[in-house]
Amino acid sequence: MIEFLIFALVGIVTGTMAGLFGVGGGLIIVPVMHFILTSNGVSEDVAIPLSIGTALACIIVTSSSAAYSHYKKSSLSVKRFLQLSAGILIGAGFGSSFVISVDGEILKTMLAVFVTIMSLRLFINIKMPRAQSEPHFLYFNVSGAVIGYLSSIFGIGGGIFSVPLLKMSGMEMKKAVGTGAACAFPIALLSTASYLFLGWSNSDLPEYAIGYVYLPGLIGITIFSYFFAKIGTQLAHKLNDKFLQFIFAAHLVPVAIYWFLR
């Protein structure tokens, strides 16, 4: 019962974030899942890929809800989504193989450093260069492959990469958020399939896990995230960009602290 309440709260937060920022919420889902699994005696080598795989499975539902809501508000570029997705489908399939082959302690350090860098960049508000002319479609294809690969490793929807990338290409913030939310769907779909396949024969998985996806977490989180993604989308069209950026940066701080302490 306590686990379900935790999953419900995570679903509310991550769903709202998906609509607000165009991210899947994996940066929150992964540490929460990791804490619950390790508290129940699951080893690090299983808990980390299981947490990441579950987060990506949740993002399938959350991102589809957020993307559709943004599409209805005309804040999604189908052209950019397709260009990025071409690369995403290549990169996302390889990240999961890296996760299950690397030592758990190394991956935790990578997560801690990654989240810290992302948070500092947003707090410092580093000005990103903007393209003077429309980038070539290959620029988005290659960028999509890198985004897909890194997102599959860290268990995220890729919005933390795709939204700044789209802003640099000249897209306004709200449309970049909507397009980033849409890009999370192919990342999550292909990555989840990889984690299911790679963990299918693992005999150390806990009960109710299929491959590297933990069903209680998946169901508990997505029940709430699907609906709250729509609320987040509505908020994104009411709040200004600077405030959105501050909230995004602030929520990463406790996540970074968790990974450093673990």
pLDDT at 219: 93
Asked if residue 254 belongs to a domain, the reply is no
Residues in the chain, overall count: 262
Residues 6 or more apart whose Cβ sits within 8 Å of residue 73: 178, 233, 237
65-120 pLDDT tens trace: 888 888 888 888 999 999 999 899 888 878 888 887 888 788 888 888 888 887 77
* Any domain includes 172: yes
The C-alpha atoms of residue 109 and residue 97 are separated, in whole angstroms, by 18
In a domain? residue 220: yes
Q: What is the total count of domains within the chain? A: 1
d(CA 58, CA 139): 29
Q: Is residue 206 part of a domain?
A: yes
pLDDT at 134 > cutoff 90: no
pLDDT exceeds 80 at position 242: no
Look up the domain containing 55 and give its range.
2-105+132-239
pLDDT mean over 124-139: 70
Q: Is residue 246 part of a domain?
A: no
The helix (H) or strand (E) run that includes residue 239 is: none
Does a structural domain hold residue 258? no
Mean pLDDT of 179-201: 90
Residue 6 within a domain: yes
**Per-residue model confidence as pLDDT tens digits over 138-170:** 888 999 999 999 888 888 878 778 888 888 888
Beta bridge partners of 209: 214
Q: Is residue 96 part of a domain?
A: yes
Classify each residue of 108-122 as buried b or exposed e, where b means 16 or more C-beta atoms within 10 Å of its C-beta. beebbebbbebbeeb
